[in-house]
Amino acid sequence: MTELPTSPQINLLKNPMLALMKYFECRLPGLCVVFFTLTLSLISNQALAQLDSTKYALVGGLLIDGSGSEPVRNSIVLINSNRIEAVGTIGRLAVPEDYQLVSTEGMTVMPGLWDPHVHLLYNGHPDFAHWFSTYSNQFASVTIPASAHQFLMAGVTSVRDLAANTRDIAKVRQRIEQGELPGPTIYAAGAALMPVDAPQTMPHIIPIDNDRKAINETKRLIADGMDFIKILGAAPQSQNIVNAIVRTAHAAGVRVTAHGRSDEEIRVALIAGVDEIQHIGIENPTYPEDILDLVEQRIASGIPLYWNPTVGTILNSDELAADPEWLDDPKNFLDLPANIERDIRQAIARANFNVQPRSAQETIKRKLQSLSERGVIMVFGSDEGTFGHPASEATWRELETWVFELGMSPLIAIKWATSDAAEYMGVGAEVGTITPGKLADIITVTGSPLRHFSTLREPEMVFKNGIRVR
Ligand SMILES: [Zn+2]
């Protein structure tokens, strides 16, 4: 946790003369109201003594509330304890005197980002087999907490982890909830269920070779508090197993997401009735007709179908292969011991990035369009943790790819990665927009991401549940 830095407004509180001078210089009536309120509070020493460390007034910035509404200039957001208490503008919303004033002038105030597709146990190392054989016993103590901390510093205040050892992710989630570790709110699938005959030894995967085991392992994940069930590697010969997993999860009211890079995986997942499919495979330029028929039948049935495309890992491959300087950014290695940092750096330096041809972009656009036209709902997610996608970079980079390569408007991209994600996870009434009553997961960034999207890369401030952590 970082100390609360002294902001210009707080300096004003400590320097009444400066505040008074500011007041008399003030030309804008709206600003005058704020400085007048400030000045009044400065006159009384009692008011200074009454400043409440759990109450903040974020004053002056451009507000993007996450709902997709047009931004609002000169905003005020009042945080009381862990909730957003009021939202308004300078001159219209009074700032009570016991609130800590935090200037957001020159910044955009927006909800904390969501990343609904992450792998906290990886930290961008290219060699999964090596990662598992070397660091499995440090996932709960080192790698998952490091990714969680990096996410929070990157302004990502909620994530959904798709494939980690169930016990490890549950333990880290609990420690974050108890305030022992800095990190986002974690929704998790636990270990992925892999319907195969051959036993696997990866700790984040449970091999399933019969229907009985499918039912038991699904029930066990749900009993362990997992929020989603993830299926990996579905194949035609395992259709019954996939059906059993989906039936068991749905009977318990838990949704199922399935890996879908290949047409084969997608076909089996759709027949079984999964809720969501991950990735856009690029081996084939279009989805075959029978898959599109299955999608149409599903939409016609009235049960929504979600897709989590994760295009950044494909479309950023050329930049990663060019060895970009940002891979060396120290924030990508926050909380990792020197030996693990060295290992990741060296492995990335000698890695062979699978550079995709530019036709991959056309394939992705075509496939996204064919799904969207049929009514499929897209879910945001970055596939963080995989090769070259550390937690401190992955989320904004994925979002930036949608804006710059796939033409999404920045305002819609922000809505997608905030309120839409919260709605999808079933907590839209609690979090995801800057609305009175909701949890105060708020970030500020310099300038406006509507004009300079890359400003999302490095937030100025991060509030998690009303506590300033950056
Ligand atoms: Zn993934």
For the domain made up of 113-431, give the CATH fold. Answer: TIM Barrel (3.20.20)
Give residue 160 CA to ligand 1 midpoint distance, Å: 10
Neighbouring residues of 203: CB distance < 8 A, sequence distance ≥ 6? 132, 136, 139, 165, 168, 191
Tokens of 210: 């019969």
Expressed in angstroms and rounded, the spacing between residue 213 Cα and the centre of ligand 1 is 23
DSSP string, 10-66: HHHHH-HHHHHHHHHH--SHHHHHHHHHHHHHHH-HHHHHT-EEEEEEEESSEE--S
- Give me ligand 1 centre to Cα 162, in Å: 6
pLDDT tier at 197 (50, 70, 90 boundaries)? low
Task: Report residue 192 CA to chain centroid gap.
Answer: 20
Distance 131 CA to ligand 1 centre (A): 16
Residue 448 Cα to ligand 1 middle (Å): 30
In the reported structure, the alpha carbon of residue 117 is separated from the centroid of ligand 1 by a whole-number distance in angstroms of: 6
Q: 346 CA to middle of ligand 1, Å?
A: 23
Q: Rounded to the nearest whole angstrom, what is the distance from the C-alpha of residue 175 to the centroid of ligand 1?
A: 23
Task: Work out the average pLDDT over 317-327.
Answer: 87
pLDDT of 75 over the 70 cut: yes
Q: What single letter denotes the amino acid at residue 233?
A: G
In the chain, how many H helices and how many E strands? Answer: 18, 19
The Å distance, Cα 211 to ligand 1 centre, comes to 25
Q: What's the CA dihedral at 77, 78, 79, 80 to 10 degrees?
A: -160
C-alpha of residue 247 to centroid of ligand 1, in Å: 23
Quick: pLDDT tens for 240-262.
Answer: 999 999 999 999 999 999 999 99
C-alpha of residue 279 to centroid of ligand 1, in Å: 8
Q: What is the per-residue pLDDT across 147-191, written as a single tens digit (0 to 9) for each?
A: 999 999 999 999 999 999 999 999 999 999 999 999 999 999 999
Sign of the four-CA dihedral 117, 119, 125, 127: negative
Ligand 1 centroid vs 86 CA: distance in angstroms?
37
Which residues make up the CATH 3.20.20.140 domain(s) of the chain? Answer: 113-431
348 close to 354: Cβ distance less than 8 angstroms = no
Proportion of the chain above pLDDT 90, given as a percent: 80
State the span(s) of the chain assigned CATH 2.30.40.10.
Answer: 8-112+454-468
Gap from CA of 393 to ligand 1 centroid (Å): 15
Phi, psi of 86 (to 5 degrees): -155, 155
77 C-alpha to center of ligand 1: Å? 35
Percentage of the chain surpassing pLDDT 70? 88
Distance (angstroms) between ligand 1 centre and the Cα of 14 equals 49
Crossing angle of helices 128-135 and 338-349, rounded to 10°: 170
Question: What's the mean per-residue pLDDT of the chain?
Answer: 89
Whether the model pTM is above 0.95:
no
Distance 182 CA to ligand 1 centre (A): 23
The CA 278 to ligand 1 mean position distance, Å, reads 8
**What's the pLDDT tens digit per position in 344-393?**
999 998 888 778 888 899 999 999 999 999 999 999 999 999 998 999 99
Whole-number Å distance, alpha carbon 287 to ligand 1 midpoint, is 21
Kindly give the distance from the C-alpha atom of residue 119 to the centroid of ligand 1, in angstroms, as a whole number.
6
Rounded distance from Cα 384 to ligand 1 centre (Å) = 7
358 CA to centre of ligand 1 in angstroms: 22
Query: Rounded to the nearest whole angstrom, what is the distance from the C-alpha of residue 308 to the centroid of ligand 1?
Result: 10
Residue 161 Cα to ligand 1 midpoint, Å, equals 8
Task: Give the homologous superfamily in CATH for domain 8-112+454-468.
Answer: Urease, subunit C, domain 1 (2.30.40.10)
The pLDDT-based confidence of 5 (bands split at 50, 70, 90) is very low
Q: What is the mean pLDDT of residues 433-437?
A: 98
